[in-house]
Amino acid sequence: MTETNTTSKTTEGKRPGRGRGPSTGGRSEGGRQGGRRGGRDRRPEDGEGKEYDQKILDLARVTRVTAGGKRMRFRAAVVIGDRKGTVGLGLAKGADVAIAVDKATRQAKKNIFQIPLFDQTIPHAIREKYGSAIVLLKPAPKGTGLKSGGAVRVLLELGGVPNAVSKIFGSTNKITVAKATMEALRKLQSAGRHQKEKK
């Protein structure tokens, strides 16, 4: 709409006097260039999510009681990953499901990080506690697959960890377990660094 209006104004501006043509034309070119620059800036943002697989980990309706009454919203937990060692988790609330999922996806992109992998598994065992949930992750040989379930499996699958064993202690709440798993994956060290620290 903006480009169409600018073009029509430029055309009308040229008709009254030829002397004003060059200056009006200059404005037109400037306006067009500005519009094109804006378009170029938007394109990368539109395609950012295309390289990641996405999965809704949890979707819940939450109610907040205020002085004016009950306010109903939706909470979404979204996991994204490229299945090549990159994973991210996002949590957000919105007035409807679509808004909550979109916000959570954008949040997941901000929280994305690389998982250090060694021989198609994690480099070492790690135990992490978040809230009342404890997650234990162990490396596994090739061909084992993922011996895990729930939120842990989703994160490992989208993160591109083909072989691993996990166990959950305490709370089995999806979001709490997911956060514990994310903390564990963040704290994983590369295989070389882990071997040096063991010595």
Q: What is the C-alpha to C-alpha distance for residues 76 and 114, in angstroms, rounded to an integer?
A: 23
Enter the pTM of the model. Answer: 0.70
Which pLDDT score is estimated for 14?
A: 42
Task: Note the pLDDT tens digit of each residue in 82-93.
Answer: 999 999 999 999
Mean pLDDT lowest among 46-50, 138-142, 187-191: 46-50
Q: Which residues contact 136 (CB under 8 A, 6 or more apart)?
A: 125, 126, 127, 166, 167, 168, 169
Q: What is the C-alpha to C-alpha distance for residues 171 and 177, in angstroms, rounded to an integer?
A: 7
Q: Which residues contact 199 (CB under 8 A, 6 or more apart)?
A: none
Q: Is the pLDDT of residue 135 over 90?
A: yes
Which SS3 state, helix, strand or coil, does residue 67 take? coil
Nearest to 174 by CA among 198, 196, 150: 150
